[in-house]
Amino acid sequence: MSKNKSSESVKVVVRCRPLNHKEVSNGPAGGIIQMDLRLGQVILRNPRAPASEPQKTFTFDGVYDANSKQRDLYDESVRPLIDSVLAGFNGTIFAYGQTGTGKTYTMQGAWMDPEKRGVIPNAFDHIFTHISRSQSDRQYLVRASYLEIYLEEIRDLLDPKHGNARALELRENPESGVYVRDLTSCVCKSIKEIEEVMNMGNQARAVGATDMNEHSSRSHALFLITVECSQPGPDGRKHIRVGRLNLVDLAGSERQAKTGVQGERLKEAAKINLSLSALGNVISALADGRSSHVPYRDSKLTRLLQDSLGGNAKTVMVATLGPAPQHYDETLTTLRYANRAKNIQNQPRVNEDPKDALLREFQREIARLRAQLNHRKWRSKQKKEQVEVDGEAWEREGDEETEGEDEEGVEKAAEEYVKLEEQRLEMEKEAIRGDQFMLAEEKQRLLGEKERMMGDLRKEQEATEQLTAKYKAMESKLLVGGKNIIDHTNEQQKMLEMKRQEIADQTCSEREIQQQMLVQDEETLELRETFTSLQQEVEAKTKKLKKLYAKLQCIKAEIQDVNDEHVRSRQELEQTQNELTRELKFKYLIIENFIPPEEKNKIMNRLTFDPEEDQWKFQPLVPAESKSSQMKKRPTSAVGYKRPISQYARVAIAMGAHSRYRAENIMFLELDMTPPNTASLDRSAETELNQSHSVDSSPTKDRGVRKSRSW
């Protein structure tokens, strides 16, 4: 790892979506948000406050209004982060905001429309285009994983048994940080392959409809891309750099009064708000700088984002806003969180030659397979020199540049050698059969030896083919710089993208310079002022006093808003606590009245709390350490025989269930079964029965009585 400990602030940008048709019809015309794109400022107006109350102003690294384009946001705010990931840094992009404000649209967008493609598809194009334009002495390995946090459980979206799979566990490594155990990782060699991985995960993601959003995300989704690059260093050895990119699409914060969710959707909203509240606490603790404890372990989401917030990563936060007046409180909360996140300091560093690099394992395996192929080639060469009459020899292995030709030569030479050996063995077998002076037993022994030699030859050929196929499969997973992974990109397109990036960088630098000049002007304005009279000085001081008084009123209003928000949060927590207490009392009542005390004590003795996963678990009946005391596997019953019944089981069957719990234990209540109906028998049997009745003129026919048939 690199020892560079330079810190870097989290980059925060804000994006506002346009008003939708429902908001325009329900509320007054116009929004509550104004944006100064030149200075990167967001001005928020309180629709319930009088006109004399000053508006709230927030300054960020970049702002994008309702008319902004997806490409502008990516080029100005995201592209530098992707370049850092390709250079070996860790990077994270996550969208934060209220439900229905455009987080998923910002991250994914419309895949088929080039103008509306979001951050994730543009990042795919960026990564593989960079690989195709890199030098030919570099090798790349790109892997992708996709997970979601649903009801505080981590689920693998790429697992075919996603619906029935158990929740994954979080683990922490001192070298690589927090990771998810047993998470599926797919090797991707092109944009098409990684898009297929993304689409497969999106089909399994939890999505639902609410009053505020028809396609509301009911879980936090994280798409992880790992890019490993191998290139020769100054010392002549190959060095590996690993960059990890986290693309996070958070579920939006919700209020039950506005979303109108009930039942399962209400449980999902409670878990979403709980994790987002934990994220807000982490942001507040990191931005404060004085807090000795950062509550990363309060949520699975904050554990996964531990390196992204205050750790080894470069982070971009996209805060999405809704301009409708009825969403003023949620918009103000989002702006405050985003304003605090600007003060978080990360310590990004290049991940150079990590121990868990998969690319190095691939290279070692390829080198081992190549050595085995070369060894087989040398053995085949020695044998062929003995067989061939003209003494033609194979050439030795050339440089690494002709590896492809050597592999083809190995295959052709192996096939040619097998044919020659088969011809030689057939000639020897014919010679043995035609020898009349040899005993029959000796002929059989020699022919058997030749057959064994033929079998060994075929086995060796199959082993060589399998080894070659495995070598090609391993080598095909690596991407080499300079090769066309995507369609050929001409020089004009390269220049166009470079110019576009230069414009984006220039826009960002101009915004930063203007923000710095604005702050400096406010600080040095008093020093530059000169007064010609006392009246002029009084007017200037009065103006300054009014300005300071307005700032004081803004701060007081801010304090009042924070107190009101604290009261609302406390009331929501109290309401949640009351609901949980009521549910706990209900379950405790069921346990006390319907579960026998001895069974309850057995369950309580087996329960243990796992602080890592924050949940209770059952201990195994037999400890794993004592192998000698483990229960033996029950033998399989013989086919056709009933399972043996013990004496205790016979008595239990005769006596029935325990009399104390027979009336009140719902698990042992017998259901009333309907008696068998003769009309549900086979129709063919019924037809035969009717035919027999028509032939027989018995008295039952006149009375309309049907006789039942036995099974």
* Residue 29 pLDDT > 60: no
Comparing CA positions, the residue from 14, 16, 223, 13 lying closest to residue 120 is 223
CA distances from 263 to 49, 116, 218, 270, 507 (A): 36, 35, 13, 11, 48
The CATH class that applies to domain 8-357 reads alpha beta
- Provide the pLDDT for residue 500: 73
- Average pLDDT, integer, range 267-277: 83
The neighbouring-strand residues paired with 14 are 63, 319
CA distances from 9 to 63, 316, 350 (A): 17, 9, 17
Using the structure block, give the residue that is written with the tokens 């998923």: 104
Comparing CA positions, the residue from 315, 96, 74 lying closest to residue 220 is 96
Confidence tier at 405 by pLDDT (50, 70, 90): very low
- Average pLDDT, integer, range 560-573: 82
- Provide the pLDDT for residue 86: 92
The neighbouring-strand residues paired with 139 are 230, 480
Confidence tier at 475 by pLDDT (50, 70, 90): low
d(CA 680, CA 582): 48
> Is residue 178 classed as helix, strand or coil in its secondary structure?
strand
> Is residue 245 classed as helix, strand or coil in its secondary structure?
strand
Which contacts of 680-686 are long-range, i.e. CB under 8 A and separated by 24 or more positions? 681/709, 685/709
* Beta strands at 479-480 and 607-610: parallel, antiparallel or unpaired: unpaired
pTM exceeds 0.85: no
How long, in residues, is the chain? 711
For 39-58, write each residue's pLDDT tens digit. Answer: 889 999 888 888 777 888 89
Structure tokens at 269: 């909203």
- One-letter amino acid for residue 324 of the chain: A
* Residue 65 pLDDT > 80: yes
Residues 6+ apart with CB under 8 A from 383: 417, 421
To 10 degrees, the CA torsion angle through 278, 284, 290, 294?
Answer: 20
For 534-557, write each residue's pLDDT tens digit. Answer: 888 888 888 888 888 888 888 888
- Provide the pLDDT for residue 136: 79
- Provide the pLDDT for residue 20: 81
- Provide the pLDDT for residue 302: 92
* Residue 78 pLDDT > 90: yes
d(CA 35, CA 40): 7
For 460-469, write each residue's pLDDT tens digit. Answer: 777 777 766 6
- Average pLDDT, integer, range 295-311: 89
Using the structure block, give the residue that is written with the tokens 């805060």: 319
* Contact criterion met (CB below 8 Å) for 66 and 83: no
Residues 6+ apart with CB under 8 A from 216: 99, 100, 207, 208, 209, 210, 251, 252, 259
> Is residue 239 classed as helix, strand or coil in its secondary structure?
strand
The three-point CA angle 375-381-383 to 5° equals 110
* Contact criterion met (CB below 8 Å) for 306 and 347: no
What value does the mean pLDDT of the chain take?
76
For 659-710, write each residue's pLDDT tens digit. Answer: 555 555 555 555 566 665 555 445 555 555 455 545 444 444 444 444 444 4
Structure tokens at 504: 């984006």
For 587-617, write each residue's pLDDT tens digit. Answer: 899 988 998 988 888 888 888 888 766 678 8
- CA dihedral (652, 658, 664, 666) positive or negative: negative
- Provide the pLDDT for residue 384: 53
- Provide the pLDDT for residue 122: 92
- Provide the pLDDT for residue 682: 52
* Residue 368 pLDDT > 80: no
- Provide the pLDDT for residue 318: 94
* Beta strands at 41-44 and 238-249: parallel, antiparallel or unpaired: unpaired
Question: Got the DSSP string for 299-351?
Answer: -HHHHHTTTTTTSSSEEEEEEEE---GGGHHHHHHHHHHHHHHTT-EE-----
Structure tokens at 390: 């003209």
Structure tokens at 312: 């080894």
> Is residue 93 classed as helix, strand or coil in its secondary structure?
strand
Query: Which residue has better confidence, 563 or 370?
Result: 563
* Residue 406 pLDDT > 80: no
* Residue 497 pLDDT > 80: no
> Is residue 630 classed as helix, strand or coil in its secondary structure?
coil
- Provide the pLDDT for residue 362: 63
- One-letter amino acid for residue 224 of the chain: L
Per the annotation, where are the binding residues for ATP? 97-104
Domain segments of the chain as ranges: 8-357
- Average pLDDT, integer, range 199-224: 77
Confidence tier at 227 by pLDDT (50, 70, 90): very high
CB-neighbour burial class of residue 400 (10 A; exposed 0-12, middle 13-18, buried 19+): exposed
- Provide the pLDDT for residue 344: 92
Structure tokens at 344: 């978080």
- CA dihedral (278, 280, 283, 287) positive or negative: negative
Query: Which residue has better confidence, 513 or 145?
Result: 145
Which of these ranges, 106-115, 228-237, 399-408, has the smallest mean pLDDT?
399-408
Confidence tier at 112 by pLDDT (50, 70, 90): confident
* Residue 458 pLDDT > 90: no
- Average pLDDT, integer, range 208-221: 70
Angle of helix 358-387 versus helix 403-434 axis, rounded to 10: 40
- Average pLDDT, integer, range 448-476: 70
Query: Which residue has better confidence, 7 or 434?
Result: 7
d(CA 337, CA 97): 9
d(CA 566, CA 284): 14
- Average pLDDT, integer, range 444-463: 74
